[in-house]
Amino acid sequence: MQNKTVDISRYKAAIFDMDGTMIRNMGHHKRAWQEFLRRHHVTLSDDEFQQKISGKKNDAIIELVFGRKMSKDELTKYADEKEAIYRELYKHDIEEVEGLTDFLLKLHKLGLKTAIATTAPLENRNFALNALGLNDKFEVILGDEHVSNGKPNPEIYINASRLLKVEPKDCIVFEDSPPGINSGKAAGMTVIALQTSHKMSDLLEADYFIHDFKDLI
């Protein structure tokens, strides 16, 4: 783990996770999962919640919390239910992580390409980007439906760099969770961890760390 000083201008692309990285929504996701699990009579400890839910694709989460394999239709039904709960809870509270919009302007002035690589499904991506007015700020947007393997597998970051036409070594990744950090590192990219959702001790695999994007403006 290095200090928070990083020369952004030496990179050619910046790739962002969304939940907990671009928007402060992890508390609302947790509340949504808790309400979803309550409706289905499933109880998780705090440790189990972190292990089974944080940074993973919905399909994997749902099978983990229910403890069985499911059909695609079942998985879609449960995922749609949980995400509808989340959007209802978050719609009046949505906010960007501090400095995000100004930092994106800085990246574009420096000539960096920008992308999103997130486990968030389409409805949630549109919900957030519309609310924040950021629809036109990213050349590439990849979500849950675009990959077979969720983080920490590097698939989503490798695909993002390929679509951006930028080598992984020239990409910098912004992440808030251990699986996301490991995904970016496994893709061969430099990773900056935001201290928005996890303890510092959980983020030690990252190359750099910041509190929010104001640190880089």
Q: How far apart are the first and last CA of the chain?
A: 21
Which single residue is written with the structure tokens 């994997």?
60
Reported for 133-142, long-range contacts at CB under 8 A and 24+ positions apart, including other chains, are 133/101, 134/22, 134/100, 134/101, 134/104, 137/104, 137/108, 138/16, 138/114, 139/113, 139/114, 139/115, 139/163, 139/164, 140/113, 140/115, 140/116, 140/164, 141/115, 141/116, 142/115, 142/116, 142/117, 142/118
* Catalytic residue status for 19: yes
Sequence-ordered list of residues with C-beta below 8 angstroms from that of 113, at least 6 positions apart, any chain: 12, 13, 14, 139, 140, 164, 166
Catalytic residue among 7, 17, 46, 59: 17
Helix, strand, coil tally for the chain in percent (to 5): 50, 15, 40
Please work out, in degrees rounded to the nearest 5, the angle formed at the alpha carbon of residue 112 by the alpha carbons of 109 and 114. Answer: 110
Catalytic residue among 7, 19, 212, 215: 19
Residue numbers annotated as active site: 17, 19
